Structure 1
Amino acid sequence: MTRQEARDGELHDRNAALSRRTLVQGLAISAASMAGAGAALAQTGPAAPPTTITTPPRDFSPNGAPTTYFWDPDIIAVDPSFDDLAQPNTAIKRLYTGLLWAEGPAWSAQGRYLLWSDIPNNRQMRWTEDDGRVSVFRTPSNNSNGNSFDFQGRQLSCEHLTRRVTRYEHDGTATVLADSYQGKKLNSPNDIAAHPDGSYWFTDPPYGGQLYEGEPDAAGGPSNASGKLNPRIGQPAGFVPGKRELPTNCYRIDPTGRIDLVVTEDQVPDPNGLCFSPDYKKLYVASTGKGPGDTGPGGKGEIFVFDVGSDNKLTNFKKFTDCVIDGVKCGPDGLRCDVNGNLWASSNAGRAVGYSGVTVWSPEGKLLGRIRLPEVCGNVCFGGPKRNRLFMAASQSLYAVYTATQGAGPG
């Protein structure tokens, strides 16, 4: 090495060190500035609204700026296999907002529209696929919660106010499928799934026993023990309030009309969403939190699974998942399976922003991925002409995103 080459090498080393020091110092100053700005924001105004990883906060509305990512930043693959279920180059869209509590989405393949419940507003809403128009579909709805469509395309609704399950026939008439069990009134049917054998399976927790989503019990009932609430206010003349008489069970409506108890409160307290696997050999049931009038511990935000026998008897009962992700309880509500048997569950993570939305599980109970929403999600369903669009009823809004899979079963 010549003397000149040695001097050139020494100068290069000094410049490289200076560049590294400058970079580190610059990053430190930048980080401090960002921290200071964050502190200033925390001191001068309210916390930013629930949002995603994007800055400024993302606008999900139809008029919001489009995402510029190949993968939507709020569709998160926890397991690599989720890449086969999530659709790249598509974005989560808020289709509508202005609800009080959105629930029970169901897709009409014949009408090519999405139906869902706005429980406190006592109405059902409809989003039409051809023009994206939203309208009131049915009012009053008897504070309906879960909806679905059977294999004949008839709408099924679980009604809080009337404590019954109703089917709307093609000729426009309504048939009451169930309103009692062994002579006792149901609590407040919540969610329903049709079976190919012509039966309907539904859950019956007590959540309709409150003013906001239905009617409290008559004076002295479990959800109105003091009798201070008047359940007749706001109801038609002649309305007769009931009292909670049954545990929180799951039932099967036989094609003959007979109602059978299939899951007891001891097995799944406060059952909420339910769905079948694509082959109808498994039944998934979500157990949510303690409801009005519960005297026991109530549900713990878990999902359970049963084997369904050819005689419709349930066996091999076990916990499918506790729905705890990264130490956060992602309480389940509505459930749907895709054609591969993966379970898509709505997530209520409360104030843990970034964990509400949808969780996706393999048939073995392994977490595959998540969809983050800026609101608590109550229920989901697959729809669209190809049944490859996931609709999400979330608090005040309706969201949708295309997937790379299809929903199993009707509704």
Structure 2
Amino acid sequence: MKNYQTFLLALVGLFMTTRLMAQIEDKKGIIEKGAELVKVQDGFSFTEGPAVSRVGDVYFTDQPNNRILHWNAISGEISVFKEYAGRSNGMYFKLDGTLISCADEENQLWAIDAKGNETVLVKNFRGKKLNGPNDVWVRPKGGMYFTDPLYVRPYWEGIRGNELEQDGEHVYFLSEDGSEFFRVAEDLVKPNGIIGTPDGKYLYVADIGDSKTYRYEIREDGYLINKELFCEMGSDGMTIDNRGNIYLTGDGVTVFSPKGEKIAHIPVPAKWTANVTFAALDRKTLFITAMDAVYTIKMKVRGVW
């Protein structure tokens, strides 16, 4: 009886894997042939903010449990990197190894060193708290862009219903030395996911509140110009590969070419896929955060850093 149950469970697992693989769309051959979506670990509350280090390890957040976790790309093991993590959400590594975090417990932007010690980079804008920094991208020349939508959190004190701290939901730029801090996009409904090109010329911002993603040109001084519609889809988190393809999340992972053409879709067995990045030393492992679990899938293309 036990052997039969084991066989039955294996058969069900094979069926689910086959069905999932059959649903994968890949028009341009960006996914490794025969690759399967692998659940690395579950048991979290809500995973977010995957950021890849120089050696290919991924740091991601379990926001409701207020911690940052570390996935070792070689061993595959996951350990706790930082407790009391400011309810960190989106994150991104600077070239010097500093981890930038959208710490929305107090609506701040943090810099976290290798030992887990944090420094507050941004506390407010024009004397008022931010709505809740959500996702961040560090440009190659220094300085960073982050989105500031409003998602009312149960752990906030003194929040008055859905009232905005700022006069809208915007995108901000902070210079490398911290001396300049200003808005760069003020006409979006609810900006969320954000990623830039490795040459620092273009920035993609997902307006999840309007189901659209836009592309901007980045000026030397940090300001954005020449906004254009990239695709009719919003996103929670985003990443980019070495071909310039853009990866959006929500219903699994949807991939668009640099021209805005949908070229792939990776279904994920979760109600919501929050974020995505390229991991491992060769940057050919797509690391996905989705609800209570994290997943990986092997790719032909590489991530850029």
TM over 0.5: yes
**Gaps in structure 2 of 5+ consecutive residues:** 1-8
- Equivalent positions of 1:322-401 (< 5 A) are 322-323=232-233, 331-347=234-250, 356-375=251-270, 376-401=272-297
Counterpart of 2:216 in structure 1 is 306
CA–CA separation in structure 1 for the residues paired with 2:139 and 2:220: 12
1:277 equivalent in alignment to 2:197:
yes
Q: 1:338 to 1:58 in 2, by over 3 A?
A: farther
Whether the aligned pair in 1 keeps the contact of 2:25 and 2:264 (CA below 8 Å) is yes
CA 1:172–1:119: 2 relative to 1, 3 Å: closer
Amino acid at match of 1:254: S
Amino acid at match of 1:247: G
Q: Deviations over 1:241-284 (max 9, x none)?
A: xx7234211111112312111111xx222111100023221111
Specify which structure has the higher proportion of strand: 2
Alpha-carbon separation, structure 2, partners of 1:245 and 1:281: 28
- Matching residue of 1:210: 153
Q: What percentage of residue pairs aligned between the two structures are identical?
A: 29
**Equivalent residues of 1:193, 1:276 under 8 A apart:** yes
Q: Deviations over 1:342-373 (max 9, x none)?
A: 101112xxxxxxxx210000111000110011
Matched residues in 2 for 1:284 and 1:57: separation? 42
Change (3 A) 1:385 1:66: farther
Aligned length: 295
Q: Does 1:73 align with 2:22?
A: yes
Stretches of structure 1 lacking an aligned partner (at least 5 in a row): 1-54, 226-242, 289-298, 324-330, 348-355
Give the counterpart of 2:121 among 177, 184, 188. Answer: 177
| Offset of residue 185 of structure 1 | 1.1
Q: Counterparts of 1:66 and 1:364 in 2: how far apart (Å)? A: 33
Q: TM-score, normalised by structure 2?
A: 0.89
Selected match of 2:42 from 97, 115, 124 = 97
Moved over 6 A (4+): 55-58
Q: Give the structure 1 partner of residue 176 of structure 2.
A: 255
- Give the partner amino acid of 2:25: I
**Quick check: 1:198 aligned with 2:94?**
no
TM-score, L = length of structure 1: 0.67
Q: Secondary structure at the match of 1:316?
A: strand
**Following TM superposition, by how much is the alpha carbon of 1:183 offset from its aligned partner in structure 2, in angstroms?**
1.6
With over 3 angstroms needed to count, the CA separation of the structure-2 counterparts of 1:400 and 1:260, relative to structure 1, is: same
